[in-house]
């Protein structure tokens, strides 16, 4: 049985890493997929081509941190796909530095891209979801948003903000049958981490109870659960996908 058969998902930031993994697994599980990206036009085309034999899929170049662009995007997705059942607010970036050296610009950029984006997209999708009396919103936070991390005060604050936002939306929109949950990945091995020194990465793996880094599909499978009817009585939660790291 395909867990997302007949559903339409909008996923932000799906040209790489976790977002790409979510798009692939959502397509395999029967969802139609609208996805966004910031600048990777070629990678977006590759993903469209790769999955077009599996499902209806379309990529949109749209800056999630831009309020007006988010509204326009949702209007376009509604015109193309007719509905949005699942929103995955995945797009996110880092600009790490110790607070002593962190510029105001690095603070503002991270809050705008990681937190404003979640507000922008959620605000845009709730109208069609309220009309449909159904919806699942999944926000990508991080273990760093739960625990904090030296050198990532901007990122941790943005991700902690996502958790507060998630819980509030779950409370506001539960009566409309709209669920809102967050996923907190730990150390997920993506193209970004592949570029790091192997010894450093092995050290991180050794510190995780399950003794490995996560894969994008580990996070994507949690998104399938939260997007599907399997989780129809779950809202306002933060699910750590971290191999036991925060335990």
Ligand X SMILES: NC(=O)c1ccc[n+]([C@@H]2O[C@H](COP(=O)([O-])OP(=O)(O)OC[C@H]3O[C@@H](n4cnc5c(N)ncnc54)[C@H](OP(=O)(O)O)[C@@H]3O)[C@@H](O)[C@H]2O)c1
Can you give the binding site for ligand X, defined by CB under 6 A?
Answer: 12-19, 36-40, 43, 63-65, 90-93, 113, 140, 142, 185, 187-188, 190, 192
Is 155 among the residues known to form the active site? yes
Q: With left for phi above 0 and alpha for psi between -120 and 50, is residue 178 left, alpha or beta?
A: beta
- Minimum Å distance from CB 29 to ligand X? 19
DSSP 169: H
Query: Roughly how many angstroms between the first and final C-alpha of the chain, as a whole number?
Result: 33
**122 vs 190 by CB, closer to ligand X:** 190
Q: Closest CB to ligand X among 37 and 119? A: 37
> CA separation (Å) from 86 to 59, 137, 175?
16, 6, 17
Which one of the listed residues 37, 60, 155, 233 is annotated catalytic? 155
Can you list the positions of beta strands (E) in the chain?
8-11, 32-37, 57-61, 86-89, 135-140, 178-185, 238-241
Which of residues 123 and 176 has its CB atom nearest to ligand X in the complex? 123
- Residue 136 or 142: which CB sits closer to ligand X? 142
Q: How far is the CB of 176 from ligand X (least distance, A)?
A: 26
DSSP secondary structure string for all residues of 35-102: EEESS-HHHHHHHHHHHTTTS-EEEEE--TT-HHHHHHHHHHHHHHHS--SEEEE---------GGG-
CB of 6 to ligand X, least distance (A): 26
CB 177 → ligand X: shortest distance, Å? 26
For the annotated catalytic residues, the residue numbers are 155
């Amino acid at each position: 049985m395909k867990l997302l058969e007949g559903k339409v998902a909008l996923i932000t930031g799906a040209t790489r890493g976790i977002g790409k993994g979510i798009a692939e697994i959502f397509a395999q599980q029967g969802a139609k997929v609208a996805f966004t990206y910031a600048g990777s036009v070629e990678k977006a085309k590759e993903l469209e081509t790769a999955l077009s034999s599996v499902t209806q899929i379309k990529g949109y170049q749209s800056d999630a941190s831009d309020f007006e662009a988010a509204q326009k995007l949702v209007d376009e997705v509604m015109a193309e796909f007719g509905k949005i059942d699942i929103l995955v607010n995945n797009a996110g970036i880092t600009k790490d530095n110790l607070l002593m050296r962190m510029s105001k610009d690095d603070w503002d950029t991270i809050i705008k891209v990681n937190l404003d984006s979640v507000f922008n997209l959620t605000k845009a999708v709730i109208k069609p979801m309220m009309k449909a009396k159904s919806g699942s919103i999944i926000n990508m936070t991080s273990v760093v948003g739960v625990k904090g991390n030296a050198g990532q005060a901007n990122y941790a604050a943005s991700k902690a903000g996502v958790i507060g936002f998630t819980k509030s939306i779950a409370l506001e929109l539960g009566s409309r049958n709209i669920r809102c949950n967050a996923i907190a990945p730990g150390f997920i091995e993506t193209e970004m981490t592949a570029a790091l020194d192997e010894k450093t990465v092995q050290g991180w793996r050794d510190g995780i109870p399950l003794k490995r880094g996560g894969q994008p599909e580990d996070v994507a499978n949690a998104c399938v659960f939260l997007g599907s009817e399997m989780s129809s009585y779950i809202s306002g939660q933060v699910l750590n996908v971290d191999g036991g790291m925060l335990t």
